[in-house]
Chains A and B, each alone.
Chain A
Amino acid sequence: MAGIGFRIEKILEGDTYIDSVKAHFYSSIIFSGPWLVSILTLFLISFFSVRNLHNQQIVILRSLIIYIYAFSLIVTGVLYLSASRYLADKLYQKDPEAFVPAFNSLSIMVMAIQSSLGWFFSGFLNVDTATRFLVVMLYLTISMLWLVMIFLTALRDYGEITRAFVAGSLVAVAASFFLGNYFGLKGYLCGYFIGHLLIVILLCLRIFVEFASRRIFDREIFNFLLNNKTLVATGLCYNLGIWIDKIVFWYSPQAYTVSSFLRTFPDYESANFFAYLTIIPAFSIFLIHVETEFYKKYRLYYIAILEKGTYSDIRRAKAKMISTLKSSLLRIVLNQGLISIFTVFFAERLIGMLGFSYVIIPIFRICVLGAFLNCLLLIAVLIILYFDFKDIALKVTFIFAVTNGLFSYATSFMSLPYFGYGYAGAAFVSLVCAYYMLDYKINRLEYLTFGLQPLGVHREEEIA
């Protein structure tokens, strides 16, 4: 028997893996980005549409846009984690040529699914063909927008995304307002469509210019999706979880029908959407902190292993990583806690300033609390994904989707002040679950890092 040399695959292969994890992490930012973007544009549209649309038309426009956002996000959500991880893998394999073919293949898939869904459901709307056409086009454009964002987030090209969004949104608002003067609802839809199409085109160009590729399509990505069902399901559950309470309320007795299956419950929607905006600070703190502090410690942990550290070196690196994580979380809880408490306290004044109905104040208050918990939940899921604990990421998002649906359904039979409790309760329960699951896993982190390494190893020499 000569020396036993071993090559350990993937996780312990070297820095490149850590880089790819970093990419995985960034790609999961997409979890929250689109959601915030949609809320912001929605506010903008609502703000301007008052000037040249009838009340009824505003309600239809709002409902259409919310439905478009909700369902485009839920459907493309299946790709959020899976596709972005595929792209991260490709990046760390130094194969950026794979981007364009993967993008083409996924675009075709998304377009095929979304146009069948879009054409099918829009058939139930009581609108003329031109409106129906615009609605479907907008639906497809927004779906494509989420897809493009997956690709650009994988590239961490936030600057480009922001610029395209600013330009596109300005065009959307201006065109909507301008066309709305002449064509009413259709004009708004058309303007909105043009603006978003511009964003999609700008971002697509960016991808195509940056990553010229000889290949056109990529079948491998479909196999990847099939082999990573956990990530696909996590993406779906997460977006479903975010929207399910709204959907439940739309079909509750308090909501009213806008047109055909379009229903709306403005009090709950506005309170909920607006509450969401309050968690932006927490999210920025987390991003900045993860980038600087936690990521460094995370990397040191793996370096301790790879550089043949002793077990106590590894434990020490882990302890440092955990304490950094804890202090980051504490900072978020404190800062965001202050902001949320402040918001709850001044809820009346804020709502008044923005011109919302005072009826929504109790919902808004509990939704702010819910959003606070939800943002901690989101951060927990991101940390879970950072450690690549795919199974608990799925469990947590699934729990959130189910509890949010059930609790909201239960509260929808109560009176108005209780409406937000379903959402907040679900976020709380899921957060507690996420905490315990993550804690359990992190306690066993060394085991999970080593003990579950598959034995797919090459022995360089043998026993003779």
Chain B
Amino acid sequence: MLLEGTFPYVAGGVSTWVYDLIRAMDDLTFSIVYLGAHRRGSRKIHYPIPKNVTDFREIHIFDYQMSTRPVPRSVGAKESGLLREFLLDLKQLKTSSFAEAASLFGGGRQAGRRLRLEELAYSFDIWKIVEETYLSQAPGVSFIDYFWTWRFIYLPFFALLGVRLPQAGVYHCVSTGYAGVLGALGKLQHSRPLVITEHGIYTRERKIEISQAEWIYSEQADQIKVTREQDFFKEWWMGLFSFFSRLAYDQADEIIALFEGNRKIQIEEGALPEKTRIIPNAIDADSYSYHERREQKGKFRIGFMGRVVPIKDVKSFIRACRIIYNELPDIEVSIMGPLDEDEEYYRECLALVEEESLGGIVKFHGKVNTRDYYPGLDVLVLTSISEGQPIVILESGASGIPVVASDVGACRELLYGSSPDDKLIGKSGMVTPMYNPEATAGAVLAILRDPDLRARMGRAGQKRVNTYYRSEDLFARYHELYYKYSQEL
């Protein structure tokens, strides 16, 4: 299993998914390759390593081993020709020269490298390639920035292409990106199938990050030029990640998305439709106690589960609460989720609560054991501006709580059903447009004011989770996949 920036060093949804999956497959053994950025990053292990993990390796993408003393050596004409071709293909998202390129760096079918990293960094022949690519692709941008970006983009990538992967029956990447590159290498080196599961869409996530990134440049009079150049370098990085995804998709035997929306994006990004399939997230539904909703006595309780960060748009939720409060003063609002990930944003949220005079109504609980809190809720709200397939909707469903969610990610299919049979189960909540406190408030009010609707939605949610989102099913499907591919010769 090839993991980038998740299990076991980073806590989160994907890591928990990996952890649960490995533990459920106790008749299989796993080799894990963990990819991190730097060794000096977080070293805290958040999950115990399950017993059936027999091999654990770490690769730090930006800590590649290489002499820092320049040792110019010459590179053969054939090698530099291959590299030139590979870089051109890379720009055009063509993956056909990958196998041969990998053999240059030591990650090919046969062990043994033809180019050392020192040669790639310092040799004159590689310099000629940098010069050529610059002149053909970006003759107008700052050369010094181009040069260093070239090094920072390609050297870690080339270093990664020298990795020899452990033997496995099947390679499973839980993202594309650098992990996807390793997956493609595993397939190449050992001729074993490659399965990719993407919880989010790697290229899309990178794109958001890159476009938000602030680029450090020294002051320059010509501001327009800087902007244009930034765009060039940003596009370069994005192009790299698109190539990574394309490479992983091309090499994969099976590409798994969590829900239909993401599957469509994968196809847009170059995945062959016949390789794609959907295996949704799942929960251990039986461990959630289902409550037939009580008749209304006392206050309505509205819940919000998620980290207090901008992407969850907590502010829209707070504004919606104000509108609800105007109509139905008898409410209690709980915001459950870590407060320390973006403390600035948390302070802004607190200020907003004050401003809207919701001081006694809205409570921040911080990180809690969600399971204990579901029974006390009448409705759960999700105002995220970006989501994959949120587990909280599944958990709410299992607990029989209706959900009002913004129309992002898989929220719609989770609440309204995806297949025709699924749709027949009925709605287990409502989707509303994002950034729209009025719509959110309207939906919440509709649910709170209609006990019958609440009960119907609760039952539908429970049925839907029990039918389609049971973790036993998820494990069974992956188990089947692993068996199928590891038997294959």
Contacts and interface: CB of A to CB of B under 8 A. Distances in A.
A455 interface: yes
Interface in B211-225: 212-218, 220
Which of A3, A444, A453 has the most B CB atoms < 10 Å from its CB? A3
B143 A314 contact: yes
A460 B213 CA distance: 12
Contact of A305 (B140, B144, B237): B144
A311 B126 CA distance: 16
B282 to A, nearest CB: 27
A406 interface: no
A453 B121 CA distance: 9
A450 interface: yes
B141 A453 contact: no
B206 interface: yes
A1 B215 contact: no
A117 interface: no
A464 B37 contact: yes
Contacts of B147: 450
A1 B62 CA distance: 12
A352 B140 CA distance: 66
B53 interface: no
Interface stretch (A5-13, A55-63, A334-342): A5-13
B170 to A, nearest CB: 27
Interface string B41-77: 1000000000000000000011000101110100000
Contact of A312 (B5, B72, B126, B139): B139
Nearest to B155: A455
B144 A306 contact: yes
A130 interface: no
A398 B316 CA distance: 77
A233 B123 CA distance: 26
A308 B152 contact: no
B478 interface: no
B151 interface: yes
Size class of the B contact interface (CB-based, 8 Å): 35 or more
B37 A463 contact: yes
Given A451-B122, A451-B127, A455-B68, A460 B216 contact: yes
Contact of B139 (A310, A460, A464): A310
B124 A444 contact: yes
Nearest to A456: B68
A318 to B, nearest CB: 12
A128 interface: no
B206 A311 contact: no
B144 to A, nearest CB: 5
A12 B139 contact: no
A276 to B, nearest CB: 38
Given A5-B216, A305-B144, A310-B143, A462 B38 contact: yes
Contacts of B92: none
Contacts of A460: 216
Contacts of A462: 37-38, 41, 62
Contacts of B155: 455
A2 interface: yes
A3 B37 contact: no
Most buried by B among A2, A454, A455: A455
A446 B144 contact: no
A463 B62 CA distance: 8
A3 B233 CA distance: 10
A460 B130 CA distance: 23
Nearest to A6: B148
B139 A311 contact: yes
A414 interface: no
A343 to B, nearest CB: 44
A309 B215 contact: no
Interface string A1-26: 11111101000100000000000000
Contacts of A457: 148
A450 B148 CA distance: 9
A464 B131 contact: no
Contacts of B134: 311
Contacts of B351: none
Interface residues of A, number: 35
A446 B70 contact: no
Interface string A427-458: 00000000000000000101100111111110
Nearest to A460: B216
A13 to B, nearest CB: 12
B214 A454 contact: no
B61 A463 contact: yes
Nearest to B121: A455
Nearest to B178: A463
Contacts of B218: 308
B215 A311 contact: no
A14 B370 CA distance: 55
B330 interface: no
Nearest to A7: B216
Given A4-B152, A12-B144, A308-B145, A446 B220 contact: no
Interface string B20-56: 0000000000000000011001000000000000000
A459 interface: yes
Nearest to B226: A308
A310 B141 contact: yes
Contact of A452 (B5, B72, B142, B151): B72
A2 B205 CA distance: 11
Contacts of A453: 70
Interface string A304-326: 01111111111000000000000
A170 B229 CA distance: 65
B286 interface: no
A447 B127 contact: yes
A454 B68 contact: yes
B306 to A, nearest CB: 19
Contacts of B131: 311, 446
Interface string B107-149: 0000000000000011110110011001100011111111111
Interface in A387-427: none
Nearest to A315: B143
Contacts of B140: 310
Interface in A268-313: 305-313
Contact of A447 (B37, B124, B135, B212): B124
B209 interface: yes
A464 B126 CA distance: 28
Interface string B142-182: 11111111011001000000000000000000000000000
Contact of B215 (A5, A444, A454, A463): A5
A462 B62 CA distance: 8
Nearest to A457: B148
B210 interface: yes
B152 A459 contact: yes
Nearest to A4: B152
B457 to A, nearest CB: 37
Contacts of A310: 139-143
B214 A3 contact: yes
Contact of A459 (B62, B66, B69, B237): B62
A87 to B, nearest CB: 25
A358 B143 CA distance: 62
| Interface core residue of A1, A309, A447, A463 (most chain B CB under 10 Å) | A463
Contacts of A452: 70, 72, 122
Contacts of A8: 144, 148
A2 B210 CA distance: 6
A456 B68 CA distance: 6
Contacts of B5: 464
Contacts of A450: 127, 130, 143-144, 147
Given A450-B143, A452-B122, 8 more contacts: A4-B152, A308-B143, A314-B143, A446-B127, A450-B130, A459-B152, A462-B41, A464-B5
16 contacts: A3-B216, A4-B215, A8-B144, A308-B142, A308-B217, A310-B140, A311-B139, A314-B143, A447-B124, A451-B123, A455-B151, A455-B155, A460-B216, A462-B37, A462-B62, A463-B62
Report the 7 A-B pairs with minimum CB-CB distance, sorted nearest first: A308-B142, A5-B216, A3-B213, A451-B127, A462-B37, A452-B70, A447-B127
